[in-house]
Amino acid sequence: MGQERLKPIVFNGKFLTVSPTGVHRVAEELIRAFERLMVNHGDAAKLPEVSLVAPTTATRTPSFSQIRLNKQGFASGLPREYPWEQINLPWLARGATLVNLCNMGPLLHGDSLTMIHDAQVYLTPASYSLSFRLWYRLVQPLLGRTNRQILTVSEYSKQQLVHYGVAPAEKITVLYNGCDHVLARTPADGFVGASGLEEGRYVLALSSTQSHKNIRVLFQAFADERLSHLTLVLFGAAGRSTFEDLGFAVPPNVHFVGRIDDGELAALMTHALAFACPSTTEGFGLPPLEAMILGCPAIIAPCGALPEVCGDAALRADPHNPDQWVEKITSLAADPDLHATLRESGRRQASLFTWDAAARKLAGILGLPALDHPAGVSQNNLQSR
């Protein structure tokens, strides 16, 4: 008799219908790393059939050599693709193990894993619309009861999901993100000068109006005359008028670069004095790690999972004390030795978080020992640090 084929695996591809956010990038990088494990294994007969199932409205179509992309569904195109996810996807993934990597999944699939990145809808409800947080608060605890396993991205997020009753601790597994994808980006080095910026004379941060991202404290810090010779550079959709319309006082030495591509972001991170992350909570903290692995020192608020993933390789400042942010930034600007030390310690810390390690751990959770083999620092070693 021939060897029995392993149960198929289906990845939820709803994230391909929208412009990628941090959560969506995590999904794509993890799926690509999972495929690399399949390619490196070499014996397709010993591996399950793996597919990425998306609505017909998917605007992005990543190419894979081992994973089949399948776009189907009669409920495609309805608001936020929720009906497709709840109605079509369970049928399209019938007989398979379904893996949902973007906080949400169907309630009516008997063999599912869902990655819930954080508990922000409970911790910072003001960051989300009423309909969004009500939907998440309704569905996620039901997923916690019906899914085979809940995945999350840090011990901090696991504790919060337990605290808010999303799932019991024994049902939640921590699967750290990787950050090494940025090493494959080719920095658009001309972008820094073309944007009117001087290398090493600006601090970079993500532009977001969400309350927990706490950009206000950076505006307050850069309004201080001690930072008048430096620039705060914000990347992302929210521009100066967006913040001013919300009542923020934006000092003149804040420069908005808008939406940028991966190469432009890599260039900004590589040549920045520092990357600032003043969030009052984060489920993981991918942007500061991306900066750190590129040699850019990070300054973080000691909140959420940021201390867990950045360790002692980043400076820390109180999220509610602009003066501390001024002090940390000026110390980096004035002390080349401190800057060099943080560049190296940041690289070492960030290099612990790789997508291949994350994919190996996912393979182990899915019961695929052929793909779950040690190489370098394991995710279990990360959790013991």
83 and 222, same domain (yes or no): no
Q: Round to whole Å and give the CA distance between 353 and 348.
A: 10
Q: What is the mean pLDDT of residues 147-168?
A: 97
Per-residue pLDDT at 363: 95
- Asked if the structure places residue 373 within a domain, the reply is yes
90 and 73 within one domain: yes
Q: Each residue of 145-184: b (16+ CB within 10 Å) or e?
A: eebebbbbbbbbbbebbbebebbeeeebbbbbbbbbbbee
Q: What is the mean pLDDT of residues 154-165?
A: 97
Shared domain for 271 and 130, answered yes or no, is no
Output the pLDDT for position 74. Answer: 67
Pair (15, 94) in one structural domain:
yes
Q: How many residues does the chain have?
A: 385
Cβ burial, residue 360 (10 Å; 0-12/13-18/19+): buried
What does the pLDDT average to over 55-78?
Answer: 81
Structural domain boundaries, residue 229: 183-350
Residues 346 and 227 in one domain: yes
Same-domain pairing of 191 and 140: no
The answer, yes or no, to whether residue 189 has pLDDT greater than 90, is no
- C-alpha distances out from residue 39 to 64, 65, 89, 358, Å: 10, 8, 26, 16
Query: Do 169 and 34 have their domain in common?
Result: yes
Instruction: Calculate the alpha carbon distances from 57 to 54, 78, 92 in Å.
Output: 8, 10, 16
Residue 5: pLDDT band with limits 50, 70, 90: low
pLDDT tens across 251-310, in order?
999 999 999 999 999 999 999 999 999 999 999 999 999 999 999 999 999 999 999 999
Q: Are 345 and 358 members of one domain?
A: no
Please state, in angstroms and as integers, the Cα–Cα distance from residue 220 to each residue in 2, 24, 95, 216, 248, following that order.
68, 31, 55, 6, 10
The domain tally of the chain equals: 2
CATH code at 195? 3.40.50.2000
Judge contact between 182 and 290, C-beta under 8 A.
Answer: yes
Q: Do 130 and 173 sit in the same domain of this protein? A: yes
What does the block give as tokens for 232? Answer: 């705060």
Flag whether pLDDT at 147 surpasses 60: yes
**pTM of the entire predicted model:** 0.89
**Co-location of 111 and 211 in the same domain:** no
- 3-state SS assignment for residue 309: helix
Task: Indicate the pLDDT class of residue 128, thresholds 50, 70 and 90.
Answer: confident
Residue type, 347: R
Sheet-wide strand order for 172-174: 68-71, 50-54, 9-12, 97-100, 112-115, 149-152, 172-174
pLDDT of amino acid 375: 45
